[in-house]
Amino acid sequence: MGATEVRGTDRAVETVEVANPATGETFASIPVDSPQAVAATVARVRANQPAWEGLGFDGRRLWMNRLRDWLLDNSERVAETMQAETGKVRAEAMFESGYLTDLVNFYGSKAEKFLGETKVRPHSLLTATHKLRVRYRPHQVVGLISPWNFPLILSIGDAIPAMMAGCAVVLKPSEFTPLSVQEVVDAWRNEIGGPDILACVQGTADTATALVDESDFIGFTGSDRVGRLVMARAAETLTPVSLELGGKDPMVVLDGSNLERAVNAAAWGGMTNSGQVCMSIERIYVEEPVYDEFVEKLTEKVGSLKQGPDGAEYGCDVGAMTSPNQIKHVAAQVDDAIGKGARALTGGKRADGPGDYYEPTVLVDVDHSMGLMRDESFGPVVGVMKVADSEEAVRLANDTRYGLSATVFGPSRRAEGVARRIECGAVNVNDVLFNYAVPGVPMGGWKESGIGYRHAEYGIRKYCRSESIVSARFSTDDEPLWFPYTKSRRDLVNKLTTFVTARGMKRFGR
């Protein structure tokens, strides 16, 4: 990505250039939206939001189902665009559309249950004189600032529940991967014919800042450093936020594990999408009795992975890294670890040739003095440590400022016991990364991994404001609590309060 200026007849238009990480070649240029353009876009969709909300759940579901069908019909087209801007292999580029279509079905069937008006039973006789109901009203405009590692899952995937809730949505994708998001948004308007309540703005930090300023709710996915800046900016206008800020996810391998499954899970969980997954397995703690065999098998598995560009042929397992800055970060982490005594059993350096490729890497002799075991790597690298027992594994797994997700392999009962002691938002037992594929359970981080949740009822209610409707059951001219205050009125209120709230004989003043 680079910034240039394109001269028109009367003004300069800033652009961002989009490069293919697999080849290093620039192949597209996207105009940047100024803060004024962002404000105009937000104002436009805001004006259309009431009509969208007014369609109700059934009306909105019809449009979302059309989006689902478009994604199914155009999954190859979307994958091709995504491969060009991210450097993903085909299998991983194809996954994103499938996740979105499943999410449309999930929230299409559950939104009314999660957001429909509910009746609340009075908790005592004092409140039984009123009908109590709770309803949810959408924020008018939701601004979503998304990263480059999953351009559609982490943008359209957040837009789906917001739109089902009745919100208008403005997306700001990463400047490294602007094209696939823009393609879907354009299709919503021009091919699907959807209402003008979904828009996309392009640019860098200034564009994102403007979107924070103009929106009624902000969703951000990215680094904890930038997440703090987003939160601080949103605080100036008291705009609510949801932040997903990455992780340093541990995997614990216990004695008695199915080692073949554990190794395959570790290889995929650490290397899929070139390790550029917020929930990637980045550090592995293995009990001593199975450590040597696990390391041998993992090294063999990771060393056998095919890396490179594969077009539509499904010929490779590991693609390029999307951000040039990220590959430098990973290389620096590995070099630092090796300088402090770690050994690379496979990989350990940038791959030769064009494109931003880092070799799938397994490091041993690592410890928590190394940044590799403390700070997010976000690349195809795992560090493996031998531990004496599960107590040490849990202590090391929790020795982090992050708490997004984790994985535990072992005999089911023992593994679940360990899982319940790890400090994070989700733990997979004898599986890896699967919690994100299950929209029925919440996905969110503890500690510095963020604020708020995706999925389940939490993932759609966050886009709404609750509204309580409290209606008197009886229409009388006066109430004992109202003016004027007199001794007789207060005596009546006090006696009623004592009778309703006290227990036993104290109800009768005894």
Per the annotation, the verdict on 316 as an active-site residue is: no
Q: Is 245 exposed, middle or buried (0-12, 13-18, 19+ CB in 10 A)?
A: buried
Question: Which stretch of DSSP H or E encloses residue 49?
Answer: helix 35-54
How far apart (Å, rounded) are the C-alpha atoms in residues 407 and 385?
15
Per the annotation, the verdict on 424 as an active-site residue is: no
Residue with tokens 């450590």: 291
167, 200, 278, 316: the catalytic one is 278
Does residue 110 contact residue 11 with C-beta atoms inside 8 Å? no
CA dihedral angle for residue 359, residue 364, residue 370, residue 371, rounded to 10 degrees: 30
Q: Can you tell me whether residue 451 is helix, strand or coil?
A: strand
Q: Which residues pair with 30 in a beta bridge?
A: 16
Q: Can you tell me whether residue 168 is helix, strand or coil?
A: strand
Q: Can you tell me whether residue 471 is helix, strand or coil?
A: strand
Contacting residues for 443 by C-beta, under 8 A, at least 6 apart? 405, 425, 426, 435, 436, 453, 454, 455, 459
How far apart (Å, rounded) are the C-alpha atoms in residues 129 and 365?
69
Q: Is 176 exposed, middle or buried (0-12, 13-18, 19+ CB in 10 A)?
A: buried
53, 183, 214, 244: the catalytic one is 244
Which amino acid is present at 133? Answer: R
Contacting residues for 187 by C-beta, under 8 A, at least 6 apart? 70, 74
Please list the active-site residues: 244, 278
